[in-house]
């Protein structure tokens, strides 16, 4: 599992203040969304239309 940081704009990315954080694993990547399995086993779909960056360690 990794910490996944989601930034909705360049300002939050530059300030290193994510708009959302979750712990999980990216299981699929598509052109318009990614799919994550979080630490509780739930599948999360993140639509990339309004996301500036997704960073994980």
Report whether 26 contacts 4 (CB < 8 A).
yes
> Are 1 and 39 within 8 A, CB to CB?
yes
Entry pTM:
0.85
Rounded to whole angstroms, the Cα distance separating 29 from 55 reads 14
Helices (H), 1-57: 10-14
Q: What is the pLDDT of residue 6?
A: 95
Q: Are 57 and 4 in contact (CB under 8 A)?
A: no
Which two three-digit tokens encode residue 15?
Answer: 């300030």
pLDDT by position in tens, the chain (length 57): 999 999 999 999 999 999 999 999 999 999 999 999 999 999 999 999 989 999 987
**Between the CA atoms of 12, 13, 18 and 22, what dihedral angle is there, to the nearest 10 degrees?**
160
């Amino acid at each position: 599992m990794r910490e996944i940081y989601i930034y909705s704009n360049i300002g939050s990315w530059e300030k290193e203040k994510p708009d959302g954080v979750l712990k999980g694993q990216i299981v699929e990547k598509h052109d318009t969304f990614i799919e994550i399995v979080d630490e509780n086993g739930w599948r999360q779909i993140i639509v990339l239309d309004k996301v500036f960056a997704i960073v994980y360690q």
